[in-house]
Structure 1
Amino acid sequence: MKVSIEHNLSPDKKKVKRKRLSMKVINEINAVNRRIAETWTPEMDAEIELATLQYRLARCATLTEEKLVRAQKRAQLKRDLKKAVTVKLLSNALDVDALLARIRSALADVELHELNAMAELRAIRAELRQA
């Protein structure tokens, strides 16, 4: 049996690495599946549903807290950016350009994390509405 594993190299190219599973591994997987099927109870379904709901609620809370922290960080970076621009305009210091580049990079990182977190938060909230 072949298993495909995708490794992301760049946005437009994917490297697919194929590995063969030995019969021993396949038999072990089948044995685990049989054991689960034989011992499964309806209470386990309820436990999984409850654990999933608790995880989603906790993740929503975490993402909301992280959003507040990122907002504070973004505000601080914007204040730093204004100060650096003012210094650059008043005195043509050489090290200010490097500082501006670092601040802009940090702002871009904060924005990227914000976009990813908001997408995850929307997905979790949609799942919660469906549940």
Structure 2
Amino acid sequence: MNKDDLLAFAHELREILEEQGVRALMGRFDWAQRFWGLGFEMDCGRSFEQRYGLRLGDAQELSHELNRIDDVRALGNAVFSQCRYITHWSYSPENESVDWLLQALERLEELVAGPVA
């Protein structure tokens, strides 16, 4: 996994979601291919839930536990899985909140960028 590519992708996806909301995932943006290309898996959030005991998509729960999340792979898999849930399994994708994704992507950026000196 290339750290620079991952940082750029996480930042780009977060910005697009901030601007367009859930519609960003429905458009032409090639987010799924990019997740796969970076080595992430769509595992329905299993690796994230097993590692942290947190539910995928629960923004309030995530906000309370964000600082203890330190596994880039598990977090990336979770973000990929949540994007896939919204676009493929959600009954009303237009009503889905992107708050969880925004928090998770921001944390992913922090982890990949490393400590600030």
Per the normalisation by structure 1, the TM-score is 0.31
Per the normalisation by structure 2, the TM-score is 0.34
Structure with the largest fraction of helix: 1
Structure ID, larger Rg = 1
